[in-house]
Amino acid sequence: MTNNKVLELLKTKLSDFQSLKTVKSHLDSTNKQLSEKYTLLKNVSQQLNKEEADLKKLEEGGLKAVFYKVLGDKEAQLEKERQEYLAVSLKYNALKEEIELLEFEKDVLDKKLTNIPALEKEIAQLKKQRAHEILQTGDSTLRSEFMQLNETLDFNIMLEREIVEAIDAGRLAMANVAKLAAPLRQALDWGRWQGGGRGMNRASMMRRNSLVNANRMLASAQVSLNKFSKELSDLGEKNMRFVIDFSELKKFTDFFFDNLITDWIIQQKIRNSLHQLGSTNDKINRIIQSLEIELKKTKEKHLLLHNQREQLLMSN
């Protein structure tokens, strides 16, 4: 197929696809109308059943019928009930007709949209052929512009993927750091435990257990921080490191004495560690916010480059 034939066929198929997008929009509107009509029909149906029941009660007799008979206006009330029933009945039938027409229209639109997958596949294939033709064309300016645009688009796609991976790694690191802070807070709470004798020994034991748990969780938190650092390095931030230092705190893990000086020192170490974790998470959060801004810019550029490439594909 020659250059002009591929291009003309591509234009035709894109026009067909645009028409189907209009059909899709029409179908969405039809589905919305149907949903509203179904709800309205249900309400009118309930109203119709009520009017029918009131009319039957009046016609067949009963307390209400006797009441109107005594007053001498039973026939007038019957006529009123019949008119109300008729009005609701007409509204119900009109709604059913509207729904039937909308359902018919929906079926027609659904059948038209069955062509979309095949059309998308055909357009994608024609675009590949057109791209190949441009790369083989004798127009060096067009070929050079198309190649450069493809390279820029590929780089932008890779950059977008790297930013997303960095954001995901950062969020995981923040979650692990937050988990790590939990046993430290528990240890701090046990440090404030008031009492004496066996109760104080139990407080010391529980505080020690909390610190042991924190030390166990430290490794997984540091791994996630290292992963975040690596993702940032892939984006060009080579010197971004996050290290949680529990070395001073670890020295006190195996030494617990029930006296105020040791207790105060341990609590200070725990507070320092919590402050370190909070600062780390604040730093990660600021970086993630910056990455999200960059991701938005990258996506906008991606769309711009994609549109430019589409325009080149359609150029003569």
pTM tops 0.85:
no
| Domains with residue ranges and CATH for the chain | 3-136 (1.10.287), 152-313 (1.20.1330)
Residue 307 corresponds to which tokens in the numbers above? 């549109």
Q: Each residue of 137-190: pLDDT tens digit? A: 778 888 888 889 889 999 999 999 999 999 999 999 999 988 888 888 887 776
Q: Backbone dihedral region of 243: left (phi > 0), alpha (psi from -120 to 50 degrees) or beta? A: beta
Q: How far, in Å, are 6, 16, 24, 25, 313 from residue 12 at the CA level?
A: 10, 6, 18, 20, 14
Average pLDDT over the chain reads 81
Task: Give 65's contacts (C-beta < 8 A, 6+ positions apart).
Answer: 57, 58, 59, 74
Residue from 10, 313, 311, 315 nearest 132 by CA = 313
Amino acid at 186: Q
Q: Each residue of 245-269: pLDDT tens digit? A: 665 555 444 444 444 545 677 778 8
Res. 297: pLDDT tops 60 = yes
Q: Each residue of 113-139: pLDDT tens digit? A: 998 889 889 988 988 888 888 888 778
Res 220: pLDDT = 84
